[in-house]
Amino acid sequence: MNIPAEQQAQLIGYVEMLHKWNKAYNLTSVRDPNEMIVKHIMDSIVVSQHLDGQSYIDVGTGPGLPGIPLAIINPEKTFTLLDSLGKRIRFIRQVLHELKITNVTAVQSRVEDFQPEQGFDGVLSRAFASMSDMVNWCHHLPSPQGQFLALKGQVDQVEIDELPAGCSVTDIKPLTVPGLEGQRHLVILAR
């Protein structure tokens, strides 16, 4: 993936801020900035090629993952980053301000309480325990043609079988993250 210099600088700036704030805020269990680049940045941006729409919401974004790396390398798309914890949203707002990222809105809310004016093309998450939880809690977030995009390690058939009626897996994309061991998949769901 060819990333322009300005975007590379923003990604590095994000890692530096994550590393700095992590000491006080405990935003991620990954302590080493080099590891952050693989486990957080690369693991997020590998999804970019599968983003066909314009508007995305990252649910349970934590410190902004995968939303901030994806927003940096897709400046023409819009991202809403949702988390219920104030310290995470404060961190994200500081990142947006310092790195001059203009295509992200940070929202502190529980997902079931958040009522967007219009639905999103894609509902992203790498935080949910199960895909059925994701679909049940986020059912009001996609537009009529919108999709759920779940970042997973292994794809678990049991988890797929537990999906609510009217929701189906339309695609499973294996993801290759340079330097990361273990399987990564993007599971695309529609209803």
pLDDT for 154-189, tens place per residue?
Answer: 898 999 999 999 999 999 999 998 888 888 999 999
Residue 182 is predicted with a pLDDT of 84
Per-residue pLDDT averaged across 49-70, rounded? 97
Residue 185 is predicted with a pLDDT of 95
Could you tell me the pTM of the whole model?
A: 0.95
In this predicted structure, the answer to whether residue 112 has a pLDDT above a threshold of 80 is: yes
Task: Share the mean pLDDT of the chain.
Answer: 95
Please name the helix (run of DSSP H) or strand (run of DSSP E) that holds residue 83, with its range, or none: strand 78-83
Residue 1 is predicted with a pLDDT of 73
Nearest-angstrom CA–CA distance, 120 and 185:
21
With 0-12 / 13-18 / 19 or more C-beta atoms within 10 angstroms meaning exposed / middle / buried, residue 52 is exposed
In this predicted structure, the answer to whether residue 109 has a pLDDT above a threshold of 90 is: yes
Per-residue pLDDT averaged across 106-126, rounded? 96
Buried b (16+ CB within 10 A) or exposed e, 165-179: eebebeeeeebebee
Q: What percent of the chain has pLDDT over 70?
A: 100
Q: What percent of the chain has pLDDT over 90?
A: 90
pLDDT for 62-77, tens place per residue?
Answer: 999 999 999 999 999 9
